[in-house]
Amino acid sequence: MSNIFILGGTGFVGCHVVHKLVTQGHTVTVATRRARHARALLTLPTVTVLELDVHSPMALEQAVAGHDVVVNLVAILHGNEAAFHKVHVELPAHVARAAVAAGVPRVVHVSALGANPQQPLAAPSHYLRSKSMGELALGHPALAVLVLRPSVIFGAEDKFLNVFAGLQRVFPCMPLASAQARFQPVWVEDVARAVARLVQVRAAAGATRVWEACGPQVYTLGDLVHGAGVWAGIAQGRGRPVIPLPAWAGRLQAALMQLAPGEPLMSADNLDSMRVDNVATGAVAGLSDLGIAPAALEPIAMDYLQRGRSGHGLLGLRRRV
């Protein structure tokens, strides 16, 4: 089994990845700015939590020494161009240099569907441009890079379907920008399985291999927002009506959301990202090539949106498989 170093291991996806790796017998070091963020992981038998500024190249190099694989899950959805560049481009560059300097041969990097390192500046949003450049930043002749590009990720702790269901408990209808944007949502457990499989993939130094992580069905954003209400049983299972907004009104909605305190539900950069369909291209390998049959969204979403317990019913059954 491998000794694995994880950045972003305390987040929504990261916690699932750490549990999966521990179950498979790996030893895992989780880097975090604050140890309290990793409370849920402290009881796992082969996990070490390390307080670390991952943006410090020297500290990162010292921390990754002695590991077999580095896994980078760190990402943001909102911010200005400088913030996206720091997290999605500068950090992967630090990871690559630290891994090479410490003699770590492989990096597993979770990117995003829509990233295009061949034409990074052609992407329509800061998010996708930075994700594209981040993949390029990992390239090094002494390093094997394994990239996973997921579509939007759903699961019991998500800030996606849960948010839309919560809004429908308050509002009688859902005005929605980019309602026709297309997504291929993937279950967080399937993403975690994919990362755990990639940790074991052997690749030649200097090579970058890419897999897309998508669920079995394509939805529009409008389908997903309305579906969140239906699957949560709101309005006797009918959900709230979705009212698609024209582009100008969507921009205004996003601008107003960005003025609210806390992380916005939608930003102008999110709208720019949705100009690119968030669905599998078929140009690279997918989950099936990792031996994973992706789970359907609706039964799992219905389970956690109605019951609010991540280990209940079908969701719990799938986790135990």
pLDDT tier at 260, thresholds 50, 70, 90: confident
What are residue 306's phi and psi, to 5 degrees? -85, -35
Q: What is the dihedral of CA 277, 156, 244, 274, to 10 degrees?
A: -20
Q: Would you say residue 309 has pLDDT above 90?
A: no
What pLDDT sits at residue 263? 79
**Pairing assessment for the beta strands 182-183 and 219-220 based on DSSP bridges:** antiparallel
CA distances (Å), origin 18, targets 29, 41, 156, 280, 291: 9, 8, 16, 26, 20
Percentage of the residues of the chain whose pLDDT score is greater than 90:
86
Q: Are 220 and 155 in contact (CB under 8 A)?
A: no
Using the Cα atoms of residue 299, residue 302, residue 307 and residue 311 in order, give the sign of their dihedral. positive
User: Domain residues of the chain, as ranges?
Assistant: 3-154+187-214+279-294
Residue-wise pLDDT tens digits, 109-126: 999 999 999 999 999 999
Of 96, 91, 93, 94, give the one whose Cα is nearest residue 107: 96
52: tokens are: 């670390």
Average pLDDT for residues 177-205, to the nearest whole number? 96
Least confident among 38-47, 100-109, 175-184 = 38-47
Cβ partners under 8 Å of residue 134, min gap 6: 88, 89, 91, 92, 109, 111, 115
Burial (CB < 10 A; 0-12, 13-18, 19+), residue 110, is buried
Q: Which long-range contacts (CB under 8 A, 24 or more apart) does 318-321 make?
A: 318/189, 319/189
The CATH number given to 3-154+187-214+279-294 is 3.40.50.720
11: tokens are: 């987040």
Q: In the block, which residue shows the tokens 């140009």?
A: 283
What pLDDT sits at residue 16? 97
64: tokens are: 């990754």
Residues 294 and 20: their CA atoms lie apart, in Å, by 16
Q: Would you say residue 310 has pLDDT above 90?
A: no
Per DSSP, helices labelled H in the chain are 12-23, 57-64, 81-85, 91-102, 126-137, 161-168, 188-199, 221-231, 247-259, 268-273, 297-307, 313-320
Residue-wise pLDDT tens digits, 207-219: 999 999 999 999 9
Which of 270 and 35 is assigned the larger pLDDT? 270
What pLDDT sits at residue 257? 80
Average pLDDT for residues 227-245, to the nearest whole number? 96
Of 15, 275, 297, give the one whose Cα is nearest residue 184: 297
